[in-house]
Amino acid sequence: SGESGAGKTESTKLLLQHIMNLCKGNSQLEQQILQVNPLLEAFGNAQTVMNDNSSRFGKYIQLRFQKNTVRGAKLSEYLLEKSRVVQQDTGERNFHIFYYMFAGLSLKEKEMYGLLDPSLYRYISGRFGTQDVAQRWKNKYQEVCNALDMVGFQEQEQVDMQAILAGVLSLGNVTFEPEESSGSVKVSEASRGWLKAAAVNVLSQFLCFVPCSPWSPSVSCCCSLCADSRDSIAKVAYGRVFGWIVCKINELLAENVDPEVELREIGILDIFGFENFAVNRFEQLCINLANEQLQHFFNHHIFQLEQAAYKEEELPWETITFNNNEPILNLLLARPLGLLSLLDEQSAFPQATDKTFVDKLNSSFKGNLHFQPGRGRVLSFTIIHYAGKVQYTAGGFLEKNRDTLPASIRGLFINSVTPLLSVLFTGKSLCCDRASHMNQGHLGRSQHSLMVLMERMYSSNPHFVRCIKPNSQKEPGVVDNQVVLQQLRYNGLLETIRIRRDGFSWRPSFEEFAER
């Protein structure tokens, strides 16, 4: 754990290499496991203001062993930031894979996928920069192709996958205009070519079939609803491709052993770090909630269990106090009046808006020490997290939490001529059971999968790797004492040092002790 850019993903890669090296098996499986990371980074990481290779999802890697030999691996992913596909803030980029494709595909391949100059695409932000950068991306594209081959993806699957990604980019350039005669909305003449390039021509009738809202029945409102519909298709398509990659990896890395054989397991959790940007949205709340839970797990393990053991052994011990973040978790997760429950409740009302949601928060959490109502013109609210105060812009919260796709569009994808697209939307391919908690919003579903993960962690024997960011400028070899001290404080590491120094950090068994 650690904040964004502190080195969690790099540490995870080193740890994996180290474990594979200790196995000394040098098997194909070990090499495949090491190839999984470049693949996931290409599709799940992006440049942010805080980090040039920021994980925009959480991952849990389970390695399964029999007699010190790795026999299989399983990957779970959490909370992919799909909104990045359609919108990036200043100084940020879309997922790496789009840039790698532009740099790495040959002219002939670009023609095949209908890809033009990257500067033409609305979903691609950031200049392409120097020749060096383009060369680096070209090499990265080659790495991704090698990883896809190594892990075991078929050639046709790889072609289909890139066709879908190219289609997503083209879809982003489709715009809408009023239909003069009928007063309805149509795809603008200027963007008909993009619609064709998106390889799903039938989409036009679905994109434009958005009933106008009775509260604001203007044509401009319908144009904006159509644009929302277009963006939600792009996000869902990308999210499905990512989920499919993870499922495919799991199929290929599953252990091939007798079910009777008992396997030991090492799990590595590499989750997105705490974030506080100039503008914080729904995604930052999801990320910071996950970090809040991890911090609580750390506190429980290091302070509560540890000191309880000393008391049980009747050791002379002066209790070390720590910053307990339970009140913040209650504010976010309590039922029926926690922030999450209120968000799901509001998401279920068609008439509810981001404003009614914020009004509800303001009235429910009046006087709560960890909540502050927004000030100024922008609709917002502030939460005082364990790692500091974060102001969240509330615009888009309900829409992102609903995270729905019209059934008509789902049917269109199922009947797609691109075999992979059809597979992605039949549901059988996605190795997750969404039906059991369909009445929850996006954040609720994510929370459910995180809770399952936390239960697994509470029953294991954890080791904590705390990553500390040396400076906020992404500079190598520079240590900013204030930045470091602030992290040591809010992470509870100063108290941890006390408990390690005054307590009993090494505990041999009686057998070990006697033998020594």
pLDDT score of 69 more than 80: yes
**Which member of 4, 76, 291, 491 is catalytic?**
4
Q: Please confirm, yes or no, whether 481 is among the known catalytic residues.
A: no
Q: Which long-range contacts does 353-361 make (Cβ < 8 Å, 24+ apart)?
A: 353/398, 354/379, 354/394, 354/395, 354/396, 354/397, 354/398, 355/379, 355/394, 357/394, 357/397, 357/398, 358/394
State the pLDDT at residue 312.
94
Spell out the residues 6+ positions from residue 200 whose beta carbon is closer than 8 angstroms to its own.
167, 171, 412, 416
Q: Please confirm, yes or no, whether 363 is among the known catalytic residues.
A: no
CB 453 within 8 A of CB 60: yes
Instruction: Give the angle subtended at the CA of 399 by the CAs of 382 and 234, to the nearest 5°.
Output: 120
State the pLDDT at residue 406.
64
Tokens 């992919």 belong to residue: 80
- Of 152-161, 286-295, 373-382, 436-445, the one with minimum mean pLDDT is 436-445
**Which member of 44, 104, 172, 273 is catalytic?**
273
Signed CA dihedral, 144, 149, 155, 157: sign only: negative
Confidence band (pLDDT; 50, 70, 90) for 451?
Answer: confident
Task: Give φ, ψ of 77 to 5 degrees.
Answer: -120, 150
- CATH level 3 topology of 282-400: Methane Monooxygenase Hydroxylase; Chain G, domain 1 (1.20.58)
How high does pLDDT run on average in the chain?
87
Q: Report which of residues 404 and 92 the model is more confident about.
A: 92
Q: Report which of residues 431 and 311 the model is more confident about.
A: 311
Q: Could you tell me the two tokens for 261? A: 């054989």
The domain locations on the chain are 8-172+230-273+405-438, 282-400
Tokens 């790795």 belong to residue: 70
CB 254 within 8 A of CB 74: yes
Confidence band (pLDDT; 50, 70, 90) for 217?
Answer: very low
Q: Could you tell me the two tokens for 212? A: 């106008």
State the pLDDT at residue 26.
67
Q: Please confirm, yes or no, whether 51 is among the known catalytic residues.
A: yes
pLDDT score of 438 more than 70: no
CB 81 within 8 A of CB 137: no
Q: What percent of the chain has pLDDT over 70?
A: 89
Q: What percent of the chain has pLDDT over 90?
A: 62
Spell out the residues 6+ positions from residue 455 whose beta carbon is closer than 8 angstroms to its own.
none
**Tens-digit pLDDT profile for residues 336-382:** 999 999 999 999 998 999 999 999 999 999 999 999 999 889 999 99
CB 472 within 8 A of CB 464: no
State the pLDDT at residue 214.
41
Residue numbers in the known binding site for ATP are 2-9
**Which member of 5, 58, 72, 492 is catalytic?**
5
Greatest mean pLDDT range, 203-207, 226-230, 255-259, 363-367: 363-367
Mean pLDDT of 102-109: 96
Round to whole Å and give the CA distance between 467 and 478: 15
**Which member of 1, 37, 48, 51 is catalytic?**
51
State the pLDDT at residue 430.
45
Confidence band (pLDDT; 50, 70, 90) for 177?
Answer: confident
Q: Could you tell me the two tokens for 263? A: 């396997």
Q: Please confirm, yes or no, whether 275 is among the known catalytic residues.
A: yes
Q: What is the pTM of this model?
A: 0.88
Residue numbers in the known binding site are 2-9
389 beta partners: 384
Round to whole Å and give the CA distance between 424 and 27: 31
Q: Please confirm, yes or no, whether 347 is among the known catalytic residues.
A: no
State the pLDDT at residue 436.
41
The amino acid present at 357, given as its one-letter code, is F
Q: Please confirm, yes or no, whether 21 is among the known catalytic residues.
A: no
- CB atoms closer than 10 angstroms to residue 223: 19
Q: Please confirm, yes or no, whether 460 is among the known catalytic residues.
A: no
Going by C-alpha positions, the residue among 203, 246, 243 that lies closest to residue 226 is 203
pLDDT score of 182 more than 80: no
**Tens-digit pLDDT profile for residues 249-296:** 999 899 888 888 889 999 999 988 899 999 999 999 999 999 999 999
State the pLDDT at residue 495.
94
**Which member of 81, 275, 283, 292 is catalytic?**
275
> In 3-state terms, what secondary structure has residue 262?
coil
CA distances from 419 to 167, 172, 244, 425 (A): 14, 22, 13, 10
Round to whole Å and give the CA distance between 37 and 50: 21
pLDDT score of 440 more than 90: no
CB 245 within 8 A of CB 47: no
**Tens-digit pLDDT profile for residues 4-63:** 999 999 999 999 999 999 987 668 899 899 888 889 999 999 999 999 999 999 999 999
Mean pLDDT of 494-506: 90
Q: Please confirm, yes or no, whether 104 is among the known catalytic residues.
A: no
> In 3-state terms, what secondary structure has residue 199?
coil
Instruction: Give the angle subtended at the CA of 427 by the CAs of 425 and 430, to the nearest 5°.
Output: 105
Round to whole Å and give the CA distance between 223 and 175: 8
